[in-house]
Amino acid sequence: MKMSKILTFMRKNPALVGFIVLFIILSIFTESFFNISNIVNVLRQVSITAILGFGMTLVIISGGIDLSVGSIFAFSAVVMASIVKGGKVLLGIIVGLLIGAIMGLFNGVVISKGKIQPFIVTLATMAIGRSLTLAYTQGIPISIFPNNFRFIGRGDILGIPVPVIIMFGIFFLVLYLLKKTKLGLYIYAIGGNEEATKLSGVNVERYKIIVYTISGLFAAVSAMILTARLNSAQPTFGQGYELDAIATVVLGGASLSGGSGGVLGTLFGALLLGTINNGMNLMNISPFYQDLVKGVIILLAVLLERSD
């Protein structure tokens, strides 16, 4: 009885279990994994995907999908970078974040008012966003920013890197939203049964729009961190990030059909993916195999979860 309870828990939290197993293995078999500076390093790298994943968690729980986060990431990064480079740091950040939110808002409005599949709408936004990015930069990276902007990516407060602080800030914000607010309840309800939610008098359209707007905004936050860290915004930023974001959510135990999942799972999903990358670097495994390992782990996690 007790054994089966443990097994059920493991099935429901594949990311957590995978992360712990990997953590132990790496701590034993490599010398450089288990020390503070490496772990802080992993966290810093993970923050980019995790923040995208937090937005994606909301979208997926609501029964949708957002393929455009990578392009939103890129476009808000380059616009932000171009303004910041001119010295207007705060303005650049505000405009960059606004662009993310507005592109998300656009997704949400078309999906809910136009009653079109989120997959299609965000696929279109993905293409549009990428094209806007390339046109805006003419394909040339924008680099070298003032120090106070770079602080967002490279600085630390009390020894904790700023990206990690932002990541946990957003984590707790989303956790709170999902558990304590009606926005959270409505997101679960819409994903679980949109029709019943509508008949319960919930303005389903409005809340869907909010969800995609948040996803776009988080993509811009994530873009800000990477831009500041690399001291450069690349027009090719964010390619494939939507898949990483979806992977973190799925590893976290959410169902793509909506109505279930949570942000804690996503955090561990992101940690698992980050640890895989870090571990493979430490073990000197060719980067060519990294995606292969990632793919296999995603499949294993999902199979484990389904094997009822």
Q: Give the span between the Cα atoms of 95 and 288, in whole angstroms.
A: 37
Task: Read off the DSSP letter of residue 259.
Answer: S
Least CB distance to another protein at residue 300 (A): 25
State which H helix or E strand residue 305 sits in: helix 290-306
The string of DSSP codes covering 30-98 is: -SSSSSHHHHHHHHHHHHHHHHHHHHHHHHHHTT---TTHHHHHHHHHHHHHHHHHTT-HHHHHHHHHH
The amino acid present at 139, given as its one-letter code, is: G
Q: Give the span between the Cα atoms of 51 and 46, in whole angstroms.
A: 9
Least CB distance to another protein at residue 205 (A): 10
Among 109, 124, 198, 304, binds another protein (CB under 8 A): 198
Among 35, 143, 147, 181, binds another protein (CB under 8 A): 181
Q: Are strands 142-143 and 232-233 parallel, antiparallel or unpaired?
A: antiparallel
| 256 binding another protein? (CB under 8 A) | no
Among 196, 285, 299, 300, binds another protein (CB under 8 A): 196
Among 189, 220, 221, 225, binds another protein (CB under 8 A): 189
Among 62, 71, 112, 197, binds another protein (CB under 8 A): 197
Q: Give the span between the Cα atoms of 97 and 223, in whole angstroms.
A: 9
Among 182, 283, 289, 300, binds another protein (CB under 8 A): 182
Q: Of 24-32, 44-52, 148-156, 200-208, which segment contacts another protein by CB under 8 A?
A: 200-208
Least CB distance to another protein at residue 218 (A): 18
Q: Of 25-33, 36-44, 186-194, 226-234, which segment contacts another protein by CB under 8 A?
A: 186-194
Provide CB contacts within 8 A for 29, sequence distance 6+: 283
Least CB distance to another protein at residue 200 (A): 4
Measured from the CB atom, the residue of 88 and 180 that comes closer to another protein is 180
Among 38, 41, 82, 193, binds another protein (CB under 8 A): 193
| 175 binding another protein? (CB under 8 A) | no
State which H helix or E strand residue 9 sits in: helix 2-12
Give the residues lining the site for another protein (CB under 8 A).
180-183, 185-186, 188-189, 192-193, 195-203, 259-260
